Amino acid sequence: MFEVKSSRRVDDYIAAALISKKEAQEETLAANTRAGLPAIDVSPPQGKLLHLLACAIGARRILEIGTLGGYSTIWLARAVGEGGKVVTFEVDARHAEVARANIAREGMGARVDLRVGAALDLLPQLEAERAGSFDLAFIDADKPNNAAYFAYALKMSRPGALIIVDNVVREGAVADPSQTDGGAVGARALFEAVAAETRVEATAVQTVGAKGWDGFLIARVI
């Protein structure tokens, strides 16, 4: 039986064993807590997974939808290297302010283009800029709009790029039609959109850990 307390202990063990103090961003998480941001950042093992995936494909341009306090943004910015860029969207101006301070403290300011506003308003502007295609997209924002975010990410991604969407299992609600909250409905709409899309190959993986029972979808642009 799944227990959050036990899974958190395992996450802590993984982080202690495999994530160095320099990588861990303890001050970022502490700053987010002090500012009263919701504790919905990816976990440290998940953050490092994003970093490793970005490094594995040599990502130089990354799109992130949902900055929050910048925790995942910093993991991704470390991966793109000098001259790389993470374009990230945050709807809440206060969250963005906290994120900017965290990103600057970690020395990633030059690598991050943080834009404040509703992503569905900002994405068409980004598309119109024609500034080049993305190597990786990470979607972790309001769940009812996941299918729309995925569609934009696909349009702006190069062949071989990865599109990763977090929180798609939702404690099993994705597979339970009786669950009609916005997150569950949004997750099912995402799966349907990806399944119908011939330009990607995809899978999803369930996860357990400090963040509970959830999972992520990962698609590769063909």
**210 or 172, greater pLDDT:** 172
pLDDT-derived band at 93, boundaries 50, 70, 90? very high
**Does the structure show a pLDDT above 70 at 136?**
yes
d(CA 197, CA 99): 34
Q: Per-residue pLDDT averaged across 131-155, rounded?
A: 97
Q: What global pTM score does this model have?
A: 0.96
**Cα–Cα distance measured from residue 175 to residue 169, given in angstroms and rounded to the nearest whole number:** 8
Confidence of residue 131 (pLDDT cuts 50, 70, 90): confident
Query: What are 46-85's pLDDT values in tens digits?
Result: 999 999 999 999 999 999 999 999 999 999 999 999 999 9
The token duo for 115 is 């834009």
Band (pLDDT 50/70/90 cuts) for residue 2 is low
pLDDT, the chain, mean: 96
Looking at the predicted structure, is the pLDDT value of residue 5 above 90?
no
Quickly tell me which residue has 């600057």 as its tokens.
104
CATH number of the domain bearing residue 165? 3.40.50.150
pLDDT > 70 fraction of the chain, expressed in percent and rounded: 98
Q: How many domains does the chain contain in total? A: 1
Nearest by Cα to 188 from 203, 199, 173, 200: 173
| Structural domain harbouring 170 | 4-221
Contacts 24+ apart (CB under 8 A), 113-118: 113/85, 113/86, 113/87, 113/88, 114/67, 114/70, 114/73, 114/88, 114/90, 115/87, 115/88, 115/89, 115/90, 116/89, 116/90, 116/91, 117/89, 117/91, 118/91
Tell me, what amino acid is at 158? R
DSSP assigned state of 198: T
**C-alpha distances out from residue 219 to 87, 99, 153, 160, Å:** 19, 27, 11, 10
Average of pLDDT values for 127-147?
Answer: 96
- pLDDT-derived band at 211 (thresholds 50, 70, 90) equals confident
